[in-house]
Chain A
């Protein structure tokens, strides 16, 4: 099984400042079809998860452009360019290349400093 490891697990950030979350996989997430199936999800307090980014860097519809994804192989990053209050929550990476199982990272809690 592919193990997904996120860091940090807790991230206090000042409003208006950038935030960066790392996600590493135990093996390369490049698929035989050439795509890399690495997704990022946001879960605000009391809400269900929402996908923000798919295939490393593609933003889902309605996702603000302050969110960006990057990376390749086994090393990926979610960046928030300027933190807003509505961005508070837990962020998860997930791989959908080597399945089953589909596997998530442990989650990174983003809060206001």
Chain B
């Protein structure tokens, strides 16, 4: 079965950093684009970043450009999101999803930015 499992969320102060991870299984990870999306408390879904199969193409929503970096390790079947200069408005559940059409989602990991 296809599975993606996020980890690494937590409470961080404004201006701080956090690194999210997503462990994939049940499919050939290196063959798929991968996606990070997020959902602020009580709000809708928002795409955050995408990366292609070999990591040569990366895209970000404007609000995180220059602060977040998406990366992957195909040998470890893992996706990452390095988040720097965090702001209160980055508080959300962060989801990892497979592909450019978001076919499979994980359970999410909560990031809270607060002093």
Q: Which residues of A contact B (CB under 8 A)?
A: 37, 39, 41, 43, 48-51, 54-55, 60, 90, 92, 94, 96, 99-107
Interface residues, chain B, with chain A CB atoms under 8 Å away: 35, 44-47, 50, 59-62, 95, 100-108
Residues from chain A with a CB closer than 8 A to the CB of B106 are 48
Q: How many A-B contacts if CB must be within 8 Å?
A: 59
Instruction: Give Cα A94 to B100, complex, Å.
Output: 11
CA distance A18 to B115 in the complex (A): 47
Which chain A residue has the least Cβ–Cβ distance from B60? A100
What residues of chain B lie closer than 8 Å to A39, measured between beta carbons? 101-102
**A43: which B residues are within 8 A, CB to CB?**
45
* A101→B61 contact, CB < 8 A: yes
Nearest chain A CB to B14 CB, angstrom units = 25
Nearest-CB distance from A7 to chain B (Å)?
14
